[in-house]
Amino acid sequence: MLTRTSHLFDDATRVTAGDSRWQGQTSEDYWAFVGPFGGATAATILRALIDHPQRSGDPLALTVNYCAPIAEGTFDLDVRLVKANRSTQHWSVELTQGGAEVATLATAVFAERRPSWSHQQAEFPKAAPFEQIVPYSRVAASWVKQYDFRFVEGDPNFGGTPPAAPPNAFSKLWIGDRVPRKIDMLSLMAMSDAFFARVFHARRELVPFGTVSLTTYFHASAEDLAAEDISRILAVADAKIFHKSYGDQNGELWSPSGRLLATTTQIAYFKA
Amino acid sequence: MLTRTSHLFDDATRVTAGDSRWQGQTSEDYWAFVGPFGGATAATILRALIDHPQRSGDPLALTVNYCAPIAEGTFDLDVRLVKANRSTQHWSVELTQGGAEVATLATAVFAERRPSWSHQQAEFPKAAPFEQIVPYSRVAASWVKQYDFRFVEGDPNFGGTPPAAPPNAFSKLWIGDRVPRKIDMLSLMAMSDAFFARVFHARRELVPFGTVSLTTYFHASAEDLAAEDISRILAVADAKIFHKSYGDQNGELWSPSGRLLATTTQIAYFKA
């Protein structure tokens, strides 16, 4: 069992509790090109909800709309329980800085996950073991350094000569924290935004890019996930279309044991 | 070109403009088992945004969280432009009835869709022509009657003896309005929730079911869509997992000409 204390990720997604207003701060360790790594922002929002005294049940769905860049420093999270019933809670969170306009807008659903018929229709992706794959080492932004990416398929080859093959946005990879940390809902949330931009893969080059809206569904209860006791996931990500400056991404996050932990989708801006 | 006036769908999703508070009403024509068809609610919310005087750009993403049942009658839509910049707008919408708690919570992104590199990686599903397929006729709820469903694969066989084959949630079908209506962003939004519950398909029986959160991305601009000039779509829907009372759905909505118009995903409660 890995210890969770003083991990960079926990520092980066730390929150200070309030009543409806919580505080967080950006982290140099999880910095992207023009702002914080979106996955760290999403995980910070999720942490505020999980830690909230009124929270009940497990995270089921989180949608994060990235409205404007977040500047380095502290931010406020206006956390609101919009509606609760016997088995589900609906939350909204607005991230602001210095009383300015909303920079990030999120909605979340928490649910009591009662026993039911269970069926996993998706197939576990075949992959060589983590240990047999060379870690990805070309680090462009500080947040990339915090992860141990091991590409099984769709190895990033950005900046290479575009081959004659048709564009292919598919990737299959292992993802762990660079400093191993037990996978929890927070790291799943962050990892669901830790795929490189599909447009980078499809075009094999870096282009201006920004996630606009991200939705992640959790398919394991907190108890299920804790029982897995893992420090990395096997993930696949793909895109269906790039058109008029926006493209999609859809992904699956798997436990090494073959359990589908989360699915994620996003729509993103690109310039190409 | 089909006329849009006085179509049942337009009546059902009619809104009365306000400043930040708009009004709508449920429709008997689009009624589900315990409330309005979620797709009609989502389309009504989208209509309020599209009709809003401050709206600019085309719908890019809409997430709708169904927090509580909506009773028959009128409802209020609190529409708020959360953040706007040069090319995107972020909106939130709260649906309430009689000043009570929020029943539906939505966030939306609108965007100016500028020309860019374009690539459709997803493959157009093969299907027999609409005209060669018998319309689905077993209508359980009034909203189902408003659509012309023609199943290419995954014909619903609910209540039949479960065969020995493993559960399969996949469906491929044509969807049009029963009274033909030109496909616009509103009908795409509604149709993205018009798949029968994946759990019905997987278990081949009706069970208690409710969509909790729905996200749809639009991959065509309003101009692209208008130019298609179509009154039906080819759609596929599938699920990856059913576990602890919740299951997912992901779908694609295609123009008959082979253009991917929208992708959609949802997480839903079921009891089985």
Q: Which of B61, B117, B240 sits opposite A267 (nearest CB)?
A: B61
Residue B109: name the closest of B65, B57, B66 by CA: B57
Contact B242 A213 (CB under 8 A): no
Structure tokens at A112: 């009591």
Cα–Cα distance measured from residue A169 to residue A148, given in angstroms and rounded to the nearest whole number: 20
List the Cα angle B182/B186/B187 in 5-degree steps.
Answer: 50
Q: Which of B94, B109, B219 sits opposite A213 (nearest CB)?
A: B109
Q: Measured between alpha carbons, how far apart are the two ends of chain B, in Å? A: 45
How do the pLDDT tens digits run along chain A, 272 residues long?
Answer: 454 568 999 999 999 998 789 999 999 999 998 899 999 999 999 999 999 999 999 999 999 999 999 999 999 999 999 999 989 999 999 999 999 999 999 999 999 999 999 999 999 999 999 999 999 988 778 999 999 999 999 988 787 666 677 889 999 999 999 999 999 999 999 999 999 999 999 999 999 999 999 999 999 999 999 999 999 999 999 999 999 999 999 999 999 999 999 999 999 999 99
Complex-level ipTM = 0.96
Q: Which residues of B touch A63 (CB under 8 A)?
A: 63, 107, 213, 215
User: Quick check: helix, strand or coil at residue B57?
Assistant: coil
- The residue type of B185 is M
Instruction: Classify residue B118 by its DSSP letter.
Output: -
Cα–Cα distance measured from residue A181 to residue B251, given in angstroms and rounded to the nearest whole number: 34
Contact A265 B120 (CB under 8 A): no
Cα–Cα distance measured from residue B8 to residue B28, given in angstroms and rounded to the nearest whole number: 10
Cα–Cα distance measured from residue A12 to residue A25, given in angstroms and rounded to the nearest whole number: 7
A205, A28, A263, B252: CA torsion to nearest 10 = -40
Convert B73-114 into a string of H (helix), E (strand) and C (coil). Answer: CEEEEEEEEEEECCCEEEEEEEEECCCCCCCEEEEEEEECCC
Contact A245 B114 (CB under 8 A): yes
Instruction: Classify residue B257 by its DSSP letter.
Output: T
Q: Which residues of A touch B203 (CB under 8 A)?
A: 117
Residue A160, pLDDT score: 67
Q: Which of A215, A241, A246 sits opposite B120 (nearest CB)?
A: A241
Kind of pairing between the strands at B119-120 and B88-96: unpaired
Q: Which residues of B touch A169 (CB under 8 A)?
A: 121
Residue A162, pLDDT score: 65
Q: Which of A82, A169, A244 sits opposite B102 (nearest CB)?
A: A82
Cα–Cα distance measured from residue A61 to residue A185, given in angstroms and rounded to the nearest whole number: 11
Cα–Cα distance measured from residue A151 to residue A236, given in angstroms and rounded to the nearest whole number: 10
Convert chain A into a string of H (helix), E (strand) and C (coil). Answer: CCCCCCCHHHHHCCCECCCCEEEEECCHHHECCCCECHHHHHHHHHHHHHCCCCCCCEEEEEEEEECCCCCCCEEEEEEEEEEECCCEEEEEEEEECCCCCCCEEEEEEEECCCCCCCEECCCCCCCCCHHHCCCCCCCCCHHHHCEEEEEEECCCCCCCCCCCCCCCCCEEEEEEECCCCCCCHHHHHHHCCCCCCHHHHHHCCCCCEEEEEEEEEECCCHHHHHHHCCCEEEEEEECCEEECCEEEEEEEEECCCCCEEEEEEEEEEECC
What is the longest distance spanned by two Cα atoms in chain A? 57
Structure tokens at B4: 């849009």
Q: Which of A67, A94, A111 sits opposite B246 (nearest CB)?
A: A111
Helix (H) or strand (E) holding B209: strand B209-218
Half-sphere exposure of B218 (CA within 13 A, CB side): 29
Residue A33: name the closest of A72, A62, A7 by CA: A72
Q: Which residues of B touch A49 (CB under 8 A)?
A: none
Cα–Cα distance measured from residue A257 to residue B97, given in angstroms and rounded to the nearest whole number: 46
Instruction: Classify residue B132 by its DSSP letter.
Output: G
Residue B268: name the closest of B239, B237, B225 by CA: B239
Contact A67 B83 (CB under 8 A): yes
Cα–Cα distance measured from residue A179 to residue A126, given in angstroms and rounded to the nearest whole number: 25
Cα–Cα distance measured from residue A185 to residue A222, given in angstroms and rounded to the nearest whole number: 7
pTM of this structure: 0.96
Q: Which residues of A touch B167 (CB under 8 A)?
A: 119, 121
Q: Which residues of B touch A107 (CB under 8 A)?
A: 63, 65, 105, 107, 213
Contact A65 B109 (CB under 8 A): yes
Helices (H) and strands (E) counted in chain B, each on its own, are 6, 13
Contact B250 A260 (CB under 8 A): no
- The residue type of B159 is G
How do the pLDDT tens digits run along chain B, 272 residues long?
Answer: 454 568 999 999 999 998 789 999 999 999 998 899 999 999 999 999 999 999 999 999 999 999 999 999 999 999 999 999 989 999 999 999 999 999 999 999 999 999 999 999 999 999 999 999 999 988 778 999 999 999 999 988 787 666 677 889 999 999 999 999 999 999 999 999 999 999 999 999 999 999 999 999 999 999 999 999 999 999 999 999 999 999 999 999 999 999 999 999 999 999 99
Cα–Cα distance measured from residue B176 to residue B174, given in angstroms and rounded to the nearest whole number: 7
Structure tokens at A227: 């029982």
User: Quick check: helix, strand or coil at residue B227?
Assistant: helix
Cα–Cα distance measured from residue B8 to residue B13, given in angstroms and rounded to the nearest whole number: 9
Cα–Cα distance measured from residue A94 to residue A131, given in angstroms and rounded to the nearest whole number: 40
> How close is the nearest chain B Cα to the Cα of A129, in Å?
23
